[in-house]
Chain A
Amino acid sequence: MGSYEDAGAAGDVVLDYSHLSLNTFNVDSISDERKRDAKQLYLSYNRLASLPSSVSLFCKLEFLDISNNGLVDICDGITRLTRLKTLVAKNNRLDEFSLPKEFGSLQLETLNFSGNRFEEIPLQCMKLLRLHSLSLGGNRLKSIPAEIENLTSLELLYLGGNLISAIPPEVANLPYLTYLVLCDNRIQSIPPQLTSPLYSRLHSLRSLSLHNNLLTYLPREILSLVHLQELSLRGNPLVVRFVKEMTYDPPSLLELAGRTVKSRNIPYSACDLPSNLLRYLDLASKCPNPKCAGVYFDSCVRQIKFVDFCGKYRLPLMHYLCSPECTSPCSSNPQSDAESEDERSVPTDRLQRVLLG
């Protein structure tokens, strides 16, 4: 965030050609020595339609800023900048076809493509295994590829201001992710794997930005993100009142059998069952009710509890229970584990699912 100006040590050769209304970048007018030694090159706020391939002559370059130009693509020459750690190319006209084929071979740690025209995160970007920081805010992204999990060093992922409607569960496999920004998108729900203490590796997540989306509730497991200090939720149609969904379909025979196998720990192996049933048994979810050793598959009761969390008042957290008789354990916040007000007044046999607010 803020400025990148402090990148690099004192004594580094910094070439500043920003704000000069340049139509072209004339590399020849720079001495060979300067080209060889330059560590940082600023070319932002010009009128460059393209970056000359001769930029590769800046062989020691670590920092390149080509923001606020009219760039429609990035030249092949850039892939020869083997020392390049930071590339900032905000506010250009780049899309997923603009990158050279070997872009993924760069050793980038910080990449900022915000304010461009990307409709997809290019697959070349998923090869940048040293990436700590990826910004694609203010583009036209419709989805996040599952390959995002390849970026195992990722600490910052900024995808605000796009057209994303779903978060792939693979985002949960980024163990160093501390800042995840998904604001100003079209997300309707958070996949449970993202916050599940069982599946998620998001142990470092410190800040989660979800404002201006289409969320009506959050998964209960969000409470397990113990390092979470910042959470933004304004501009979501979060429910204010919710009545326990009692019209739940009774479990099928398959489900009942599966529940019995799992809860009684009946041993089984690959030669006992066809593969589709083995897969089915793997999908069992444990009932969060501490008094219930049960599991459920598809048939469950949904219940919302309102919990104060991370500076927010009464967040609707969705609980899944294996049967109407189960209750969810208390939240980590003793202050407000209030049930929906309506539940007490409506008779059990006539409760219907109502989403209000």
Chain B
Amino acid sequence: MCLGSGRSPFSIMVQSIELQIGLPRQHIKGESLKLGEKLVALRQLSSSGKQARREVTTMEQTEVVKPETLDDLIKILHKIFESDCINVEEVQNIMESYESKPQEWKTYAKFDQYRYTRNLVDEGNGKFNLLILCWGEGHGSSIHDHTDSHCFMKLLQGQLKETLFEWPDNRSQGEMVQKSQRILQENKVAYINDSIGLHRVENVSHTEGAVSLHLYSPPFQTCQTFDQRTGHRDTVKMTFWSKFGERTPFETTLSQENN
């Protein structure tokens, strides 16, 4: 039996989730249910989000609620952002604990052949914007800032390379200084703001697309893009490929990415 259902959360120790073979299987697409059916059943079970689970430790008094679905995550984020004070670690942990389930965000994941897309998921009561970005093979962004806002980025599918840069010196003209580089794995969350620096995000895979969930607080409509060779900056307007699952074409078709 899964833990937590109907029992007081504070009296339960953390235990591993026990798998139960034998629960009724959902209908699986495809012929020959004999082939690998056990594996299929296991896969179905571990991804089933029907029962709400709570993981609690006895050491801490606070209850950590794990968002089971994307809707759960959005509701929790709304609550967290009711206050004006953001605990970066708290937001990062909450976003990281949501295990990405493609069925839940497929409707927002609209890819474009030529470049990455920004798809608005939720407007966070004006406190934040939640977006899903879709990166085709080889797609990358320019080096950009975050207009004095917090930026959280979670990998929902695939991997993204993040390269951090120092702000260019206003006077010196030359190649921008790279600070660090990392590959973000599925379900991981990265955080950045202008005081940390600037970054470029790229899908370096030539075989897989990548999908990421972004939270920006407060929301912003313009940002600066930077030319890596010279540090020259331009202000660009940010556009949405889709909003709430509906495609929203924008007026300008000229590329504003310096990538």
Contacts and interface: CB of A to CB of B under 8 A. Distances in A.
Interface of A: 1-3, 14-17, 19-22, 26, 29-31, 34, 90-91, 114-115, 135, 137-138, 156, 158, 160-161, 178-179, 181, 183-184, 206-207, 209, 211, 229-234, 238, 240, 310-314, 357
5 contacts: A26-B35, A207-B113, A229-B253, A234-B140, A311-B258
Contact of B259 (A16, A181, A232, A314): A232
Contacts of A313: 227, 230, 232, 234, 258
A336 to B, nearest CB: 10
Contacts of A183: 138
Given A20-B39, A240-B229, A313-B234, A229 B255 contact: yes
Given A114-B206, A231-B255, A1 B36 contact: no
Interface centre among A19, A209, A311, A314 (most CB of B within 10 A): A311
A181 to B, nearest CB: 6
Nearest to A1: B136
B207 interface: yes
B29 interface: yes
Contacts of A14: 29
B109 A2 contact: yes
B254 interface: yes
Nearest to B31: A30
Interface string B118-151: 0000000000000000101110101000000000
Contacts of A179: 113-114
Please provide the 5 A-B residue pairs with the shortest distance between their CB atoms, ordered closest to farther. Answer: A2-B111, A137-B206, A1-B136, A138-B206, A161-B206
A30 B30 CA distance: 9
Interface string B190-234: 000000000010001111010000000000000001011110101
A270 B239 CA distance: 59
Contacts of A91: 207
Given A1-B137, A179-B113, A181-B138, A238 B229 contact: yes
B255 A230 contact: yes
Nearest to A14: B29
Nearest to A239: B229
Contacts of B137: 1, 114, 135, 137, 158, 160, 181
B5 interface: no
A256 B207 CA distance: 52
Contacts of B101: none
A307 to B, nearest CB: 13
B43 interface: yes
A352 to B, nearest CB: 23
A155 B39 CA distance: 40
A2 B138 contact: no
A259 B195 CA distance: 61
Contacts of B114: 179, 206-207, 229-230
Contact of A184 (B34, B206, B259): B206
B209 A2 contact: yes
A311 B36 contact: no
Nearest to A228: B255
B138 A20 contact: no
Given A179-B114, A230-B255, A90 B35 contact: no
B63 interface: no
B30 A15 contact: yes
B8 interface: no
A178 B112 CA distance: 13
A31 B31 CA distance: 9
A48 to B, nearest CB: 13
B105 to A, nearest CB: 12
Interface in B155-214: 200, 204-207, 209
B59 to A, nearest CB: 38
A90 B255 CA distance: 30
A312 B136 CA distance: 21
A98 to B, nearest CB: 17
A158 B31 CA distance: 34
